[in-house]
Structure 1
Amino acid sequence: MNTSESSGTDTDPGTDAGGRPAGAPPRRGWRRWAMDTRPLRIPAYRRLWSSTVVTAVGSQLTAVAVPKQIYDITHSSAWVGYASLAGLVPMVVFALWGGAVADTVDRRRLLLVTNCGIAVTSLLFWAQAATGLDSVAALMVLLAVQQAFFGLNSPARSASIARLVPAEELPAANALGSTVMQTGLVAGPLLAGVLIPVIGLPELYLIDALALCVTVWAVFRLPALPPLGGTAVRRAGLREIADGFRYILLHRVLLLSFLADIVAMVFGMPRALFPQLAAETYGSWDEGLALGVLFAGIPVGAVLGGLFSGAFSRARRHGCMVIGAVVGWGAAVAGFGLSGNLWLALAFLAAAGVADMVSMVFRGAILLSAATDEMRGRMQGVFTVVVAGGPRLADVLHGTAGSAFGPRAAVAGGGALVVVVMLALALAMPALRRYRV
């Protein structure tokens, strides 16, 4: 990252380039393994991260409340699936466009507008639930609007990190953000399950809306993040979106970072088979307990990986870390497919979660450090689409393979395929394994 791109960095006085107090001794003992919190010494990043802590749980309350309300109205899981599709399509479209927009405007201003939009949709969710509207159409429209705002918001938010944090601390910053989000994936649904019988669905939406007010305030206090290299107004249309894809094709390390995630998620994400495995393979256990353990395994492992991210976040060979993490993910998933014991399965899934955290940290760092600032928004837009779309493609692939070959064979085969394909890509295209910050 050029020094001119660090103009938004707001470091505390008396700290070195790494954000530690000047003259501070290197971390020793267990502290070397603990999460690297250097980016939190930067006030601007600390504000952005603190808002994520609040909204990570709040957003999951809405993520639970919407399908619950739709099922209560329709008593149909099919409608729950249709609602998921209604949210996916606008999120994909607006993430791609939002990435182009983030490269043409002040990203702080874009974050303010989109976070306000998400907060308003949460208030509308609360209003329709509180008034007893009971309209699936209204819920699907609100979900589509909310996901459109999220698609516009996510690329700008991720691209802003490189303007707030020094390049050598990008893995640590990604680990901090990813750990919070993974914690929200675990704590949010559990909290929703506890609160629904006590306060009801409307109040879940209201809590999310109030949490988003914290985010708006945190973003308001960020420094301005206008495009670098002048103030010329640029378009944000189809041509600019296409330029982003051409940029990826011309920069192999970026292309390979996306391919690594696609390989890992499409071939190696077995969540579609969790219900069948809980009922058949782990039938000696309570089916509900087994299902909960399977769904919690990967997020729990990711949280543990984040808490001990100091063990890897200072690595400079980012490409090798991505390759190793994806291979580790595939091996752990294959081990999960071969395991017949529930707690051994949990151990393999947790190991996969740790590998996924490492992969997220360094893929994110590569996208922020290998791309120029004028392209970072578009790179993050594509990243958002890949992260959202890969697991859904995996659901189709694993569901089909599980029906044809059995769930355990499908899972083990998918994990082995991840290992083989990732190693083949690393050997055939050395740009990723040679990349270092």
Structure 2
Amino acid sequence: MDKKIAIIGLGYVGLPLAIEFASKYSVVGFDINKDRVNELSKGEDRTREADLKRMSDVVQLKSDALGIGLSFSYNTEDIKSCNVFIITVPTPIDHYKKPDLKPLLKASEMIGQVIKRGDIVIYESTVYPGCTEEDCVPVLERVSGLVYNKDFFCGYSPERINPGDKINTLTKIKKVTSGSTPDTAETVDQLYKSIIEAGTFKASSLKVAEASKAIENAQRDLNISFVNELALIFERIGIDTNDVIEAAGTKWNFLKYKPGLVGGHCIGVDPYYLAHKAESLGYHPQVILSGRRVNDNMGMFVANKVVKLMIQKGILIKKSKALILGITFKENCPDIRNSKVIDIYTELKQFDIDVEVYDPHADKHEVKEEYSIDLVDSINNKTYNAIILAVSHDEFLKYDYAALGEQNSTVIFDTKAFLPRSIVDARL
């Protein structure tokens, strides 16, 4: 069949995917956020993930009526003629650290209203093994009145987008694919193979593909939790964790993970999806959840370490001024989802410290809405009793930290081992 593709969700995952597919197929980029659709229609992208020139080119292809190209919409009428639906909506966790499938199920319900016989629904959102067939397919069947693997088919191809990375982009990373029948698996694989330069890997089932994504990030989470725990130990011993890692790294098979805050939409979330599935089957995972506990407590550790250092310098804690540099979950990108910097902020506020947060990459309105924090516009002509480098944005290397501090009365803490060692009091 001639493929006409609808990409559901135009965030960090969906937009780059829509742009790449649009160079070879007719694509409708769909999002329920009208502001987002209007922004993209004007050639703007707040995530900074899109190649704007390339996006403009594929939008022009649709305008030229060549049968391929990209258009944007928030109207479901515009996706009814599509026959491949790729769902890339967020799959966060709730306040109890349980999977929040509401966006995924709502997207499935919407697609159920428009799918036809022979259509394929592909999920890219990160889920636990079995979620596509056990949670999403029943919604598609109920709303559409169609029968799974008879009237419509499903695929799963986990996203591997790395926000802010301009080298390992969508087409440069090998893509795992899968389908609900052998024919569907081959169709899905060939579809992605047509745009992924690095090639594809066809998994044996939807569940295998789902599980592969979950363990990718759980493995990284556990490795980081190990070095974070080492940081807690070495802080008590009085040695620098990064020095230890450099020494151990001289052995050829040592993996040089660094301690740090573990947030974001994948590493800080996916292990909870895997744990949820395990617990539903009667197994309580020990290693996965212990790693999560260590990583979830690192923001509190940083804040308390900073306060101890301030006390050692004779700084009066109550009403002192602290600056946190960075609120995004990683360097040089505007993504604030599940940022663990908020844990440092919250803990410092508990000490009645006046805390300011500065981040040139983050959107002020998003930060206010998500975390109820008003980002400061500038740190010029200000001084602080504590400065915490929380995110290693390139801009932060250029600042005069001596000018930002109170003379002989400022603690500088580097959570990323990013700043010159000579100017910091301690680092994670």
Question: TM-score w.r.t. structure 2 length?
Answer: 0.23
- Higher-Rg structure is 2
Between structures 1 and 2, the one with greater helix share: 1
Between structures 1 and 2, the one with greater strand share: 2
